Structure 1
Amino acid sequence: MTYNFDAIIDRSGNRAAKYDERKKKFGTDDVIPLWIADMDFKTAHPIIDALKSRAEEGLWGYTARPDSYFAAICDWQKRRNNWEIDASLMSWSLGVVQSISACVKLFTPEGGNVLIQTPVYSEFYDMTEAANRNVIENAFVLGDDDKWTIDWDDFEAKLQQADLFLLCSPHNPLGLVWERDDLEKMMKLCLKYHVLVLSDEIHSDLIFHGKTHLPTATLSPEIAANTISCFSGTKTFNLAGLQASAVVFPDQHTKKVYDQFWHNMDIHRNNAFSLTAMEAAFTHGDEWLGQLLPYLSNNFDYVVDYCEKNIPQIKTFAPDATYLMWLDCRALGMNNQELHDFMIEKAGLGLNDGCSFGRSLEGFMRLNAACPRSVLIQAMHQLYVAVQAL
């Protein structure tokens, strides 16, 4: 069937955090919300149909997880990423962030060090610090060609202090899809210095421009034996409110330690609807995703083209992965607080502050482009008017 991603869906009445938490986050409801990473699109009809059928049963007690659940996930990874997963090494989790939190607590010592590459998804900071571990930053280098690259000398030096490396693959917010050479180099250095890797691959289905996602654990048996992999259908199919993800462990011992952590809190079952949605998504979601990706890619191109022609003070680029765009606003000459206030008060936009992804950064913002084109058109116009008035 054909999906209409141009349709405007009023989410203000369905308890969507993206809309209903605007006042809390931005101090006003009068902003176009382009921040939290979910999409303003209805999910695939097979998922909706499966959930309707489950709802009509009218009985949602404790729910067993059938073998078909993990089989659907394994089949998807084989089909999309050529990854043959041993299902016996896979666990369910509430979400990737919750998995990161647990792994930091379980697989690093009290007061230990966790290496992250910045700018990066802010929960990498938050989950580390919440566990009373120390964040070590390997900051990406922004070259004269406006491309972000790894500072390899710094990466190797920081690894020698680290107990765990949190890898974002593909990368949020820079939209990077790691090439084999860079990925292998990072992983071999982790092996050299005996640093466990947690690979956050939640955006691995949202890939553009002919790029290919390479699951970290597929690089070699040695690398797989040092890698915990996390992924989910929640970003891919806009199901974040249902809370479900998968974790693949390097061995049974690591899996047992992780599983016991959640069992001790009696958290080890999907809710009735997340189980149904995830299995339907990974079994029947290809058609919807195949139509979504070019729509998102065209949204990126629209924003890039508009900024180049009308707001050259703001630089951006079409990401190779995710549906998130990184805006370089440094030419506006504002500090972070001034930029934050400008976007809200003058442009009427609710974006993510770039400094939450890299605390030493000044002058960057993140924009969520997973919305109908007309919303982006209005957002870009508002941004243009605000910049022109400076």
Structure 2
Amino acid sequence: MDIFETVHNRKNTRSVKWDLVKDLFQSEDVLPMWVADMDFKAPDAVNQALIERAKHGIYGYTIVDEKVKSSIVNWISKRHHWNIKSEWLSFSPGVVTTLHMAIQALTEPDDKILIQTPVYTPFYKVIEAHNRQIVKSQLVYSENQYHINFQDLEEKMKTGVKAFILCNPHNPVGRVWTKDELQSIANLCEKYDVLILSDEIHCDLTFPNVEHTSIASLSEEVAVRTITCMAPSKTFNLAGLQASYAITSNNEYRKKLDQQFMIQGFHGLNTMGNTALEAAYTYGEEWLDGLKEILQGHYHYVKEQLEKYTDLKVTIAEGTYLVWIDCSSLKLNPKELRKFFVEKAKVGLNPGIDYGEEGAQFMRMNIACPRQTLVEGINRIIEAISN
């Protein structure tokens, strides 16, 4: 699809990815392939909806009405086979914001909160920021793929864990947890009375023929102990519009969460985020199906090229547009590894150490860009290693 092949100049648009290159990498000629947004335009229907809304010219206080809520309910039913109710929804500027609110609303200072490492960097921050204790269960890296150590998970829950932040699909390792894996997690959370905070922001970005399951969809018993965090932001490249939502069938949780939002001064979605969310979920399916094929092709290209021409290994993934690269063959420490990619390869990636010490020998690459950009980045890496 041409929409995914066009190279757009994003410089001077206040882009975090493109306009902070010199600040972050101390050089103008580094190709940024790090932060998780895409170099693709949003679907035409979304852009048109925003233009039409802008033509109105009045941006007063905005409600999230039943039409917007229905677009979410219908999307989740159609794409994820989970039937939710509109009254289960709460709205937020972003998933990380919701995690902050949920931790404040539903746990107490010094409570233990479990994460599976290596994992998305803000998970550490949302726990530490509110004086909760981080408990880590390390994922098992075996035969180039990650798996859950259920024995360790249970041992950690036994210590009095109050909440578990689940990442599904997992960032950065690219696993899409199976129904069986999720059921085993749910069983442990039920056994030890653990609240589940499920970050499912990448749920729409599984590779073709890989199905995402929301842990709360497994049963009513699991649903009532879960807050599910979703957004159209990763799916349709809308992060700057700050529109996300939380889902829970537990009325008490939802009231406490909404109360926490109110205490912090958040009152629903902004006008443009509201508009974009509805348009994306109403008209975005064809665009998304095209994107998923592109991303799968990009992933296979990166894996094939790096493993053919270098000793780097690309972790087996089932979704997201973030590729987790095992760089242990370079025999560099994390500081040297970052320096190598920035100064020698001239490519800006996320250092794996940022996701936990388990990621010390890894780098995370964002492949959500036109093939031309991807080829340039991969060629730079291959050339730097061969030299």
TM-score clears 0.5: yes
Distance in structure 2 (CA, Å) of the matches to 1:22 and 1:60: 33
Q: How does 1:89-128 map to 2 (within 5 A)?
A: 89-128=88-127
SS of equivalent residue, structure 2 residue 4: coil
Pick from 353, 375, 378: which aligns with 2:376?
378
Q: How do 1:138-287 and structure 2 match up within 5 A?
A: 138-143=137-142, 145-161=143-159, 162-287=161-286
**Stretches (4+) displaced over 3 A:** none
Cα distance, 1:68 vs structure 2: 0.6
Q: Assess if the C-alpha contact under 8 Å between 1:97 and 1:123 holds in 2.
A: yes
| CA contact 2:39–2:369 (8 Å) conserved in 1 | yes
What is the Cα deviation at residue 290 of structure 1? Answer: 1.3
- Asked whether the equivalents of residues 139 and 146 of structure 2 are also in contact (C-alpha less than 8 Å), the reply is yes
Q: 2:327 aligns with which of 309, 321, 329?
A: 329
2-structure distance, mates of 1:370, 1:222: 37
Counterparts of 2:208 and 2:272 in 1: how far apart (Å)?
A: 34
- Report if aligned partners of 2:201, 2:230 keep a CA contact under 8 Å in 1: yes
SS in 2 for 1:4: helix
CA contact (8 A) 2:115 2:166 kept: yes
Q: Quick check: 1:361 aligned with 2:359?
A: yes
Q: Give 5+ residue unaligned stretches, structure 1.
A: none
Partners in 1 of 2:46 and 2:179 — Cα distance?
Answer: 34
Query: Aligned AA for 1:367?
Result: M
Residues 61-70 or 47-56, more deviating: 61-70
1:311-322 alignment to 2 at 5 Å? 311=310, 313-317=311-315, 319-322=317-320
Please tell me whether the aligned partners of residues 352 and 363 of structure 2 are also in contact (alpha carbons under 8 angstroms).
Answer: yes
Superimposed CA distance per residue, residues 248-284 of structure 1 (whole angstroms, 9 cap, x where no aligned partner): 1231111111111111233112111000000000001
Shift of 1:24: 2.6
Distance 1:153 1:72 in 2: 40
User: Which stretch of the first structure deviates more once superposed, 262-271 or 302-311?
Assistant: 262-271
Distance 1:335 1:251 in 2: 46
State the alpha-carbon separation in 1 of the partners of residues 147 and 135 from structure 2. Answer: 17
Contact 1:207 1:213 in 2 (8 A): yes
Residue aligning to 2:60: 61
Q: By how many angstroms is 1:4 displaced? A: 2.1
Instruction: Give the equivalent residue in structure 1 for 2:294.
Output: 295
How large is the Cα RMSD of the aligned pairs? Answer: 1.1
Structure 2 distance, partners of 1:65, 1:186, is 33
SS of equivalent residue, structure 1 residue 267? coil
Q: Distance in 2 between matches of 1:225 and 1:260?
A: 18
**DSSP 3-state at the match of 1:197:** strand
Matched residue pairs, number?
386
Q: Is residue 297–residue 318 contact of structure 1 (8 Å, CA) maintained in 2? A: no
For the 8 Å contact 2:232–2:277, the answer to whether it is kept is yes
Rate the CA distance shift 1:157–1:317 in 2: closer, same or farther, 3 A: closer
1:3 deviation in Å? 4.5
SS in 2 for 1:211: coil
Shift of 1:151: 1.4
Tell me, yes or no, if the aligned pair for 2:104 and 2:260 is still in contact at 8 Å: no
Q: Give the TM-score normalised by the residue count of structure 2.
A: 0.98
Say if 1:325 and 1:367, in contact at 8 Å, map to a contact too.
yes
Amino acid corresponding to residue 376 of structure 1 in structure 2? L
Q: Kindly provide the amino acid, as one letter, of the partner of residue 28 in structure 1.
A: S
Distance 1:266 1:355 in 2: 34
